[in-house]
């Protein structure tokens, strides 16, 4: 399993993930065995620092932009088809048939102050407008578990597989 490390700060989200209803685990083809049966509503948003992108981005010539996850070949653990997510307003188009589907990577979130960490999941919808923020989901309240507040510094370690080129 390959790793990407991002450093950033906890921020308030815009509430879009609190409106989304993810299907139960049993309805997601290819979901990992440890993917939660159901998720807490919402996500924890991390604003990536300008110098907080993985060294692989610059080494491979990619710009420091979260949208790069849609195309750089860092394969997610699995993908949730967009049509399975209720209230998903990112709909496929003829030019972008994956739009709205959710890429899911294993992750570890670490509070840089306390060094406490928790396993969770990075989620990114194809076609999302977010370019500096990572969204994390879990069946546990990540803010409470790690005693996080807006402005706290964190590290997100994403696990995936580089596509063979």
DSSP per-residue letters across 117-140: EEEEEEEEETT---SSEEEEE-SS
Interval 66-125: pLDDT, tens: 999 988 889 999 999 999 999 999 999 999 999 999 999 999 999 999 999 999 999 999
Pairing of strands 117-125, 44-48: unpaired
Phi-psi region of 135 (alpha: psi -120 to 50; beta: other; left: phi over 0): beta
Which CATH architecture is the domain 2-21+39-162 placed in?
Beta Barrel (2.40)
For the chain, give the mean pLDDT.
Answer: 92
Interval 129-141: pLDDT, tens: 889 999 999 999 9
Interval 10-34: pLDDT, tens: 999 765 667 888 888 889 999 988 9
pLDDT at 40 (0 to 100): 83
Confidence of residue 165 (pLDDT cuts 50, 70, 90): low
Task: List the one residue out of 158, 121, 133, 14 whose CA is nearest residue 64.
Answer: 133
Domain ranges of the chain: 2-21+39-162
Interval 90-103: pLDDT, tens: 999 999 999 999 99
């Amino acid at each position: 399993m390959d790793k990407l490390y991002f450093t950033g700060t906890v921020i308030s989200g815009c509430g879009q993930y609190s409106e989304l209803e993810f299907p139960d685990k049993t309805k997601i083809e290819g979901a990992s065995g440890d993917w939660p049966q159901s998720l807490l509503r919402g996500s924890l948003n991390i604003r990536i620092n300008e110098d907080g992108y993985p060294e692989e981005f610059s080494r491979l010539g990619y710009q420091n932009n979260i949208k790069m996850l849609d195309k750089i070949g860092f394969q997610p653990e699995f993908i949730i088809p967009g049509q399975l997510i209720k209230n998903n307003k990112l709909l496929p188009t003829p030019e972008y048939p994956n739009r709205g589907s959710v890429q899911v990577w294993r992750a570890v979130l670490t509070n840089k102050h306390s060094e406490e960490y928790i396993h969770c999941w990075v989620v990114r919808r194809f076609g999302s407008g977010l370019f500096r923020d990572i969204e994390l989901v879990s069946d546990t309240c990540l803010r409470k578990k790690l005693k996080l507040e807006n402005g706290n510094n964190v590290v997100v370690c994403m696990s995936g597989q580089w596509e063979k080129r």
